[in-house]
Structure 1
Amino acid sequence: MQYSKLVSALAVAGVAMLGAQAAHAQVIKIDGSSTVYPITEAVAEEFQKAKKNVVKVTVGISGTGGGFKKFCRDETDISNASRPITKSEMEACKAAGVDYVEMPVAFDALTVVINPKNSFLKQATVAELKAIWEPAAQGKITKWNQVNPTWPDAPIKLFGAGADSGTFEYFTEAIVGKAKSSRGDYTASEDDNVLVQGVSRDVNAIGYFGYAYYAENKGRLKALPIVNPKTNAAVEPAEESVIKATYQPLSRPIFIYVKAKSLDKPEVKEFVEFYMKNGAQLTKEVKYVPLPASAYTGNVEHMKKKKFGTVFGGQNEIGITIEELMKRESKS
């Protein structure tokens, strides 16, 4: 009887200890862009392994805009962003007393995709894409031959980023000419895997999202070469065309934003340092374009020096190159 009581007591004590450990588990909360998600998720997995799961890193996909809403409400430590923070988001963060360090982590070739069985689309101009996606096209441009008479009399099935997505903002500004200016009659989602499935199942479909999701699904999708407005050459999304700045206007930097207050937590500071040390390799593994080494060391310096704010002034910048981004970061 005494033995069984001892075993029971030890079991209860063990549960209590586990409960106490769980209560004190270090958690790093990240949310935001689905485009940046593959990089941050890869970093999170490696970091948790290195820390033997003492630190838990959660990575959500609310879209860049949705992520910034949580970030400026002080609900997350880090925000993934596929475009720079906007003026309204800067104001929301300021009002909440949220300072942040802006860290570019990679370049993306925002990719327009079609179904592999599509035999007529060999390339597209910005003007053609605008004709498909602009608000005036809603309910009117419903067939391919309405955009280009050489294309077939077949329905256009559209898949694109949701309104909280930074990809939605960047694409509409680059293609339509105004951020968030888009027709609304399309299948929208902040989850790019939903869009992948949609385009892969319909021969008349067209959609857009970050390059990593195309690279992961090359057997199910075809990337559409985009005609560079300056050179008139059709260019495919690829690491080389991003580095050479020929894939325009859909090449773009992608970021993480780190909350200043969260850097007081040792686990967050350590995670960011781990991210910058391993970010280039993991960026390449998930099929984005890494930045020069100086970008990652510069991010750590900015963190140590508490350089808060953004070098973009609250505005997106269409067509910025890696070289231009690095010059701007080095001056700041």
Structure 2
Amino acid sequence: MNQRLITSVLFFSLTLSLLFLSCSDQAHTIKMKGSDTEVNLAVNLAEEFSKENSDFSIAISGGGSGLGITSLLNGQADIANSSRPLTEEEIHLFEGKNIKLKTIVFAEDATAFVVHKDNPLDEIDLKTLAKVLDGNQKTWNEITELNLPINIYGRQSSSGTYSFVRKKLGIAFSQSAKEMTGNAQILEGIKIDKSGIGYVGAGYIAANAGANQGIKVLKIKENNTSESISPLDQQAIRDNKYFFQRPLFQFVPEKSWAKVEPFINFEMASEGRKLIEASGYYVLDK
């Protein structure tokens, strides 16, 4: 065999080896994007999963449910975390691209409404909350002795939590509402603003020891005569008593299912379910 042929054979063998390694790595590389509500939980689950499956690499980012769903449409993710179901428009977009999805409902979350720790308000009914968030009630002294304007800290329109709260209350958010990128930014804003009110994932507060320092979680009443329920009351959530509780979704393209399935199986098994609960969320009965 001449030198030129030997070189060609070696190059071909090396190319095949690199291609095999690349395919192997790709088969164990998972990209997960979407809901800021779910991102901390996803990180915790991925860390535990990786301890037993060191050959897997899982990249996780937030940015909102809408971003995760768009990433699936663009082929940039294997899992979209979403705190809301797909819209009719999104369903049609997936159908138009012939992308078939598997839908997993893996946990239950509650949305918490928070104010500054010095705000005298402890509970709020839905009618008053709606007036506050849509801008019809502009000052705190209409419902408390606090003589300050109301500053609203909310999410961007791509957020599943934004859509969830808006639909549950049947409102459009005030145009003066501050649009924040996530739970942490909302909480940090309210901690330094005695006028502030915002909404965050209850699981985020429960899972982060310092998250509730400087803020107060409001109890929610459906009307003036109903019971006040806290989103941090696990039994109330299990009994489906809290008005702002919802399922958490994961959408997976069928083409990604083979590599994603071991992770999904982990989070749905006993170890994953324990971690979901420990992170401040609620597991669903199988």
Pick the TM interval, shorter chain: 0.7 to 0.9
SS of 2:274's equivalent?
helix
> Quick check: 2:220–2:228 contact (8 Å CA) kept in 1?
yes
Q: CA separation of 1:19/1:194 partners in 2, compared to 1, >3 Å: closer, same or farther?
A: farther
Q: Could you tell me which residue of structure 1 aligns to residue 77 of structure 2?
A: 76
> Quick check: 2:125–2:224 contact (8 Å CA) kept in 1?
no
Question: What does the per-residue CA deviation read over 1:88-117, in whole Å, with 9 as the maximum and x for residues that have no partner?
Answer: 111111111111111111111110011112
Q: 1:145 aligns with which of 127, 141, 144?
A: 141
Query: Scaled by the length of structure 1, what TM-score is found?
Result: 0.74
TM superposition shift of 1:48:
1.6
Q: Which residue identity does 2:53 align to in structure 1?
A: K
Q: Could you tell me which residue of structure 1 aligns to residue 197 of structure 2?
A: 206
- Which structure 2 residues correspond to residues 110-189 of structure 1 after superposition, within 5 A? 110-118=111-119, 120-134=120-134, 137=135, 141-146=137-142, 148=143, 150-175=144-169, 177-178=170-171, 181-189=172-180
SS of 1:74's equivalent?
coil
**Is residue 237 of structure 2 the alignment partner of residue 242 of structure 1?**
yes
TM superposition shift of 1:235:
1.2
- Please say which of residues 152-161 and 79-88 is displaced more in the overlay: 152-161
Unpaired runs of 5+ residues, structure 2, are 1-16
TM superposition shift of 1:218:
2.4
Question: What does the per-residue CA deviation read over 1:189-217, in whole Å, with 9 as the maximum and x for residues that have no partner?
Answer: 23211111111222221110111222221
Hey, what's the Cα distance between the residues in 1 that align with 2:174 and 2:103? 31
TM superposition shift of 1:18:
10
SS of 2:252's equivalent?
strand
> Quick check: 1:73–1:93 contact (8 Å CA) kept in 2?
no
SS of 1:171's equivalent?
helix
> Quick check: 2:109–2:248 contact (8 Å CA) kept in 1?
yes
Q: 1:43 aligns with which of 27, 42, 45?
A: 45
Query: In proportion to residue count, which structure has more strand?
Result: 2
Unpaired runs of 5+ residues, structure 1, are 1-16, 295-332
RMSD value, Cα: 2.2
> Quick check: 2:139–2:150 contact (8 Å CA) kept in 1?
yes
Q: CA separation of 1:62/1:243 partners in 2, compared to 1, >3 Å: closer, same or farther?
A: same
- Which structure 2 residues correspond to residues 87-106 of structure 1 after superposition, within 5 A? 87-106=88-107
**Is residue 183 of structure 2 the alignment partner of residue 192 of structure 1?**
yes
- Percent same amino acid at aligned positions? 25
- Please say which of residues 165-174 and 40-49 is displaced more in the overlay: 40-49
Q: Could you tell me which residue of structure 2 aligns to residue 259 of structure 1?
A: 253
> Quick check: 1:196–1:213 contact (8 Å CA) kept in 2?
no
Query: Scaled by the length of structure 2, what TM-score is found?
Result: 0.85
SS of 1:110's equivalent?
strand
Q: Could you tell me which residue of structure 1 aligns to residue 262 of structure 2?
A: 270
